[in-house]
Amino acid sequence: MTTPTAQSARAIADSVRSGETTAADTVAAALTRIDDANPRLNAFIDVFHQRASEQAQAIDVRIASGEGASLQLAGVPVALKDNICLSWGRTTCASRMLEHYRSPYTATAAQRLINAGAIVVGKTNMDEFAMGASGEHSFFGPSKNPWDESRTCGGSSSGSACAVAGGLVPIALGSDTGGSIRQPASHTGTVGFKPTYGRVSRWGLVAFASSLDQIGPFATSVEDAALVYSIIAGEDPNDLTSSSRAVEDQGDPTVANPDDGAGGESTGDHQSLRIGVPSFARTGGNHPATDEALRAAIGAFKQAGAEIVEVELPHANHAIAAYYLIAPAEASSNLSRFDGVRYGHRADNPVDLEDMFVRSRTEGFGPEVRRRIMLGTHILSGGYHDAYYRTALKARRLIAGDYTSLLEADDTDDASEPRLDALLMPSAPGPAFKLGDKLDDPLALYLEDIYTAGISLAGLPAITIPARTSDVGGVTLPTGVQLVGAHWQEAKLLRLARTLESAVAFADAPS
């Protein structure tokens, strides 16, 4: 089957603002695409036909009255991962526990898109409470990869990646805790961007691990990802973890910045760039398609004149262990509120209060969520807190230090050995795998985060860019690579990503 590909978000907004088309027609076309493809792909949990159509008509009225200049995303259909709250429809987190939950408010990131003229057409599928790397831990069933419907889209933001890769919408929001934007972007041939922790408000994002969760966009291009980021980034008084630091002007991602050597589409103009490739990313164990994609990205940067430096991350091998101690511990605390009394599913006809709590949580949560809650509760229990949780926090500090020592200058820097402009590494150890292949092996799924979890622990910005397609068992599948930048250096990272995007010239689509 051939899936129709949506226009870019920027092109849609320009067309709607100019009067070449209308928001109503644009949204109607997106809803038709969703209705046609979603029964196969299962990208969406809910689709807002009437509400989206009404909002599109309201945008057309505003444009007719001369307000178009303020609407950066005028008429652009967008999708939200179903752990991002809206004041209409459901916010289920793909869980039976919240199957019927309706939020009384809209998340800050979603509201900023709406204020910019975007039209939310639906909520996308995901691993339950964002716990998973394949999309298979969803109460509503897995999303299917548009490149090969027998394969996963990755996770946990499976539906958002699927919706963009399948051409149903040009942009979608996801959340990234340990790789949940970057890994599915790699598996679906999309751009997936996780900003610095604290750069985008988490208010209205249902919490998994509060010190790690971050909202970011999926898009078909770095340009669209940068546009969405520029709208959703910034301080929010409702989120005390959001930074008051000013958001850098993204500018035009195709224009070079003389201060950082990044940007531009010509080759040979990036001699000052130093791109680090961690040695552990090239020491074996990857699928051949991943190694091929990494070589292609390295070659593209070399051709552009950048220096490639092999670097060490001495504590990288501890990242998975530290992440899967810290994240479940925070999840155990965050999900304690879903008890059948204040929120969520309540068991029928309980014998007593204890029976109600046990049965409500057992019935409401799927097996992976129950596994992580139990693990996290054990980690935080008496006698184990210091041995596990505190030790993981110490490891986290060392892991973060490895990254910042390579990317961020300090007073002891030797000017003859400049810091790196970015790190380049895979986003996942292999391309999209078959549905069911790893479902019975939690450790195999956890290892999908091997290249992403450490970056989340460090709170750094990172972006996945499609780099190559490969023949995998007779099927053409995409593989992405990720660029990692210093804290708060999203503008520079996006320019570097645009350089790489232009050089690798990834132009394939599901067919």
Q: Cβ-count burial of 192 within 10 angstroms (0-12 exposed, 13-18 middle, 19+ buried)?
A: buried
Percentage of residues in the chain with pLDDT exceeding 90? 87
Of 15, 81, 123, 194, catalytic: 81
Cβ 123 vs Cβ 44: under 8 Å? yes
Q: What confidence score (pLDDT) does residue 251 get?
A: 58
Residue ranges in 108-261 assigned as alpha helix (H): 108-115, 158-165, 182-188, 222-232
Q: What is the pTM of this model?
A: 0.94
Indicate the range of 87-101, 106-120, 373-387 predicted with least confidence: 373-387
Identified catalytic residue from 95, 180, 221, 427: 180
What is the rounded CA–CA span in Å between residue 125 and residue 395?
A: 33
- The secondary structure of 461-472 as a DSSP string is -EEEEEEEEEEE
Q: Is the peptide bond before 210 cis (omega within 30 degrees of 0)?
A: no
The pLDDT tens digits of the residues spanning 145-155 come to: 999 999 999 99
Q: Could you tell me the two tokens for 283?
A: 């020491």
Neighbour order of strands in the sheet with 274-278: 44-47, 119-124, 77-81, 171-176, 214-219, 191-194, 462-472, 475-484, 422-426, 274-278, 307-311
Q: How far is CA 251 from CA 223, 254, 255, in A?
A: 10, 9, 8
Least confident of 27-36, 240-249, 318-327: 240-249
Is residue 470 part of the annotated active site? The answer reads no
Place of tokens 């051709």: 303
Q: Tell me if residue 438 is catalytic.
A: no
CA-based end-to-end distance of the chain: 6
User: How many angstroms separate the CA atoms of 26 and 187, rounded?
Assistant: 27
Domains, the chain, with CATH or none: 9-259+432-504 (3.90.1300.10), 274-315+395-422 (no CATH), 317-391 (no CATH)
52-79 per-position pLDDT tens digit: 999 999 999 999 999 999 999 999 999 9
Q: Average of pLDDT values for 221-240? A: 98
What's the Cα-to-Cα distance from 208 to each of 22, 77, 88, 376, 396, rounded to whole Å? 38, 27, 22, 12, 18
DSSP 3-state assignment of 27? helix
Tens-digit pLDDT profile for residues 408-446: 976 555 544 568 999 999 999 999 999 999 999 999 999
Q: What are phi and psi of 203, to 5 degrees?
A: -65, 120
pLDDT averaged over every residue in the chain? 93
Annotation says 156 is catalytic: yes
